Structure 1
Amino acid sequence: MLQIRDPYKTTHPETAYQTDDLSIFLNIRGNNEYVKVSYPVKYGIFSRLETREMILEFNLNHEIKHARSKTRHWLHPSEWLKRTVGNDWIYYSSGGYSGVVEAIGEYYLPNFMYATNSLLGGKPFEFPVIADLCSSWQDMMAGIPGALPDMPDPIADWLEKAKSIHGPDLEKKADHLFDISGARATVLPPDARHSDYNLIPLTIADGCLYKCRFCKVKNKKPFTPRSRTDIQQQIQALKLLYGPDLINYNALFLGEHDALCAPKDLILFAANQSHDAFGFAHSFMKTPRMYLFGSVDSLLNADMTLFEALNRLPFDTYINIGLESHDQATLDRIGKPITAEKVSLAFDRMGEINQTFPKIEMTGNFIMDDHLPPTHIQSMLDLVRDRISRPVPKGSIYLSPLRFGKPSREVLYDFYRLKTASRLPMFLYIIQRL
């Protein structure tokens, strides 16, 4: 078990209350560092309410964060529901812990209520016990008595506040989050898995460069950097929105779809301002991380001094580049207006940056589909196998299935074949939104 530093003993004291039918534990200390383990792990400081039928966990804003039924109908005792800051429910499946970590780099498998491109998992939200818990947890809480004669005041106060937050309140708060950024983040970088997708979104540039035909998750806005004033206004609004629960965050997402294309000074300004304003140096969670997307052209046009400056920041920085294919016929088919030669140059530059800067990891995306030209796979192997002389632990490659809601055994087979051949770490990219 990890040793957890605890600077919040006075402000967030642990308190407990138990009866035969109810237990409430306030300010439980979860892990303070994100880990890769094959058993359920909860992070940060949170509170837990448990009855004979269910377990509910709440963040420091008294908002529901995790849920699990204790009835015999629940699929597995090591699986649970998580509610995101965007007010989505995600069902974390163990997948029997068989093959999941090899496929996505994590021991759990996120299952979403919305359409995505996953080749794995089932449809847990079709099970009544899961769907009912998502929709009726508040009704269950309403049946819990309020302040009982022997209930400590901090417990009674917490229970009253937790019971006062209803579904529409959570939906309204999520909408306010999207308004602050200008839009919902329809896709998060795959590297955000290293922070369990617990992050703060800050838009420093709208839109993307290419507007590729194949893409289902990006908007049609022209690429436009934001002003420093706008970024500062976002930061202050986000600080108020995350409120007391801000101490449980240590990860920043610079959006939208090609933050790497923003001016160097703007990227560094946003990173430094966020680190200070959000108090990442004093977060309960260790190791601040920053995530952003980049394009082939933004990477090739970036001056090396940008990466030198990023490497000096108090973040571990992950930059995910949309390569998509090293095959010109495939690039033309999917409507990506770049050349295979540029993809090759970008791939080489990613490797150079990964070798040079210990606090930066460049990762890349390639598409997968059983209707792509046969030259697509071979051209990918030319990079991830033949271009590299030995296995390299840094610089993950993510393969993203093109089609949503249509798992394909053939595509999954291709993934495992490529993973075996690749000299870079390789995983499936499951599209997850904020």
Structure 2
Amino acid sequence: MDSIYTLNNCRITCNKPGSPVYTKISFPVHCGLFTELETEEFIFHFNLNGEIIRARLKSRDWVHPHEWLKRTDGNDWVYYSTGGYTGVFEATGEYYLPNLQYPTNNLLGGRPFARKEVKYLVNHWHEMLVKTYRNLDNCPEEIEMFFQQTISNSPEILAEKASHLFSIIGNRISVLPPDARHVDYNLIPLTISRGCLYKCRFCKVKNNTPFTEQSEKRIDTQLMRLKKFYGLNIKNYNALFLGEHDGLQTSPVLLRRSIQKAYEIFHFADSYINETCIFLFGSVTSLQNCSESDFQKLDILPGKKYINIGLESCDQETLERIGKPLKARQVKEAFHLIQDINEHFSSLEITANFIFDENLPENHYISMLELIRDSQKHVKPKGSIYLSPLKFDSPARKHLFAFNRLKTLSRLPTYLYIIQRL
């Protein structure tokens, strides 16, 4: 049960129950259990480990009361803007646009981190927290403990914790699957393999590491260290990312074992958040190497499984230009296999990525539309298509116009892929 304290001009709600479901709605719905600290100046949210996770100011300078800053486990600040609610949901599948501090392929633009009130909050939230505590008298024991814990989680300590997380899983996750938007990118990363198969020239977010599986022993060590790292706040997680860049290429037995053990060790069945979700990347090769029996065994495991496949293009000239070592025929076969899997397995959803740029050959778009429109007899609710702009950090109205045209013609859910890291 939550407990509410009002001290001076400060209101503290401990263990405030948020939504147990990630909901797509046009006003902010915060999930999980957290503690809310509200003053006349700001609202801060802290997780069950006493780490700041959300913040906003209450002044007139703050653009909109529905817009928030969120701090990730990787210690990035993300500004969630409404975008005026104009086209954001149609473009991303979400009502709020994540604005990131690092270069990404966001076509929708916006520079919230250049605004003085946002910069102030990012740089001074801890000072504001300490000042609030010093202005309080006769704090109850629970509030005294709350402030001691949250103040100890300074920006420097939070940065150290993020580095520790990266050391547990082997490195920072440079890109998360676009389907992770369904849980607002709140997931536990588990590295079951390193690297990817193709090393495409166009890719800006993957590494040059050859594809290698992790051993069962290394995965088990990660699981136990991750459980300790997330501590009390593990109750607020219902999602797992099986990294790195081609989790589907790992042996089927290792993949299933990793899912099952993570589900048990992280106690996902007891999570405050409903419905476990598993996210991973795959490739055309790893998809085609899986048998029907492999998918059947994945399907019966706990949770909803999202597998994102980088198709990029089904035009041979484009594939050669971007340095993807595939034939157009293989891409088309993989696309139709994806549709078959989505139709026959209830807990599996395979999504696909295509690249998007004004300088690509015309046949790239013609051949793409043959797949996402002409080959589909009716509109489907499952199996999203993500269009990934090749240019990073270069919003342009004409690009959005081109995207909207493709989305309108597609018979599959179609969105922009906003690359986000952990």
Please report the TM-score for the alignment, with normalisation by the length of structure 2: 0.99
Partner in structure 2 of residue 18 of structure 1: 6
User: Which amino acid counterpart does residue 226 of structure 1 have in structure 2?
Assistant: Q
Partner in structure 1 of residue 280 of structure 2: 292
Q: Does 1:332 align with 2:320?
A: yes
Where in structure 2 are the equivalents of 1:351-366 lying within 5 Å? 351-366=339-354
> Using the alignment, how far apart are the partners of 1:345 and 1:73 within structure 2?
53
The equivalent position to 2:239 in structure 1, one of 231, 237, 251, is 251
Deviations 1:229-267 (A, max 9, x none): 000000001101111000000000000000101000000
Cα distance 1:347–1:158, how it changes in 2: closer, same or farther (>3 A)? same
How far does residue 146 in structure 1 lie from its aligned partner after superposition? 5.0
Where in structure 2 are the equivalents of 1:238-277 lying within 5 Å? 238-277=226-265
> Using the alignment, how far apart are the partners of 2:7 and 2:182 within structure 1?
38
> Using the alignment, how far apart are the partners of 2:135 and 2:292 within structure 1?
61
Q: Does 1:154 align with 2:142?
A: yes
The equivalent position to 1:404 in structure 2, one of 380, 392, 404, is 392
Deviations 1:363-406 (A, max 9, x none): 00000011111111111001000111111111000000011111
> Using the alignment, how far apart are the partners of 2:301 and 2:136 within structure 1?
50
CA contact (8 A) 1:117 1:402 kept: yes
> Using the alignment, how far apart are the partners of 1:208 and 1:233 within structure 2?
23
> Using the alignment, how far apart are the partners of 1:205 and 1:141 within structure 2?
40
The equivalent position to 2:208 in structure 1, one of 202, 210, 220, is 220
Deviations 1:97-134 (A, max 9, x none): 11110000000000000000000031000001001101
The equivalent position to 2:124 in structure 1, one of 132, 136, 139, is 136
Percent identity of the aligned residues? 52
User: Which amino acid counterpart does residue 127 of structure 1 have in structure 2?
Assistant: R
Where in structure 2 are the equivalents of 1:19-418 lying within 5 Å? 19-146=7-134, 150-418=138-406
> Using the alignment, how far apart are the partners of 2:7 and 2:221 within structure 1?
46
User: Which amino acid counterpart does residue 70 of structure 1 have in structure 2?
Assistant: K
SS across alignment from 2:109: coil
> Using the alignment, how far apart are the partners of 1:62 and 1:246 within structure 2?
13
> Using the alignment, how far apart are the partners of 1:387 and 1:42 within structure 2?
39
User: Which amino acid counterpart does residue 247 of structure 2 have in structure 1?
Assistant: A
How far does residue 28 in structure 1 lie from its aligned partner after superposition? 0.2
> Using the alignment, how far apart are the partners of 1:93 and 1:411 within structure 2?
20
CA contact (8 A) 2:281 2:309 kept: yes
> Using the alignment, how far apart are the partners of 2:92 and 2:419 within structure 1?
11
> Using the alignment, how far apart are the partners of 2:210 and 2:335 within structure 1?
25
How far does residue 152 in structure 1 lie from its aligned partner after superposition? 2.1
How far does residue 410 in structure 1 lie from its aligned partner after superposition? 2.3
Deviations 1:249-308 (A, max 9, x none): 000000000010100000001000000000000000000000000000110111111110
How far does residue 408 in structure 1 lie from its aligned partner after superposition? 2.5
What's the C-alpha RMSD, in Å, of the aligned pairs? 1.0
SS across alignment from 1:363: strand
> Using the alignment, how far apart are the partners of 1:303 and 1:419 within structure 2?
31
Aligned residues: 422
SS across alignment from 1:343: helix
> Using the alignment, how far apart are the partners of 2:287 and 2:399 within structure 1?
29
How far does residue 148 in structure 1 lie from its aligned partner after superposition? 5.1
SS across alignment from 1:138: helix
> Using the alignment, how far apart are the partners of 2:40 and 2:167 within structure 1?
39
> Using the alignment, how far apart are the partners of 2:71 and 2:285 within structure 1?
36
> Using the alignment, how far apart are the partners of 2:133 and 2:393 within structure 1?
43
Partner in structure 2 of residue 3 of structure 1: none
How far does residue 141 in structure 1 lie from its aligned partner after superposition? 1.1
> Using the alignment, how far apart are the partners of 1:397 and 1:148 within structure 2?
52
> Using the alignment, how far apart are the partners of 2:20 and 2:144 within structure 1?
27
CA contact (8 A) 1:252 1:289 kept: yes
CA contact (8 A) 2:174 2:421 kept: yes
SS across alignment from 1:237: helix
Q: Which runs of 5+ in 1 are unaligned?
A: 1-12
How far does residue 82 in structure 1 lie from its aligned partner after superposition? 0.2
User: Which amino acid counterpart does residue 218 of structure 1 have in structure 2?
Assistant: K
> Using the alignment, how far apart are the partners of 1:250 and 1:209 within structure 2?
29
> Using the alignment, how far apart are the partners of 1:71 and 1:412 within structure 2?
32
SS across alignment from 1:143: helix
Q: Which runs of 5+ in 2 are unaligned?
A: none
SS across alignment from 1:145: helix
Please report the TM-score for the alignment, with normalisation by the length of structure 1: 0.96
> Using the alignment, how far apart are the partners of 1:46 and 1:195 within structure 2?
16
CA contact (8 A) 2:8 2:136 kept: no
> Using the alignment, how far apart are the partners of 1:109 and 1:20 within structure 2?
35
How far does residue 73 in structure 1 lie from its aligned partner after superposition? 0.7
Deviations 1:123-164 (A, max 9, x none): 000001001101100011111235955532111211121112
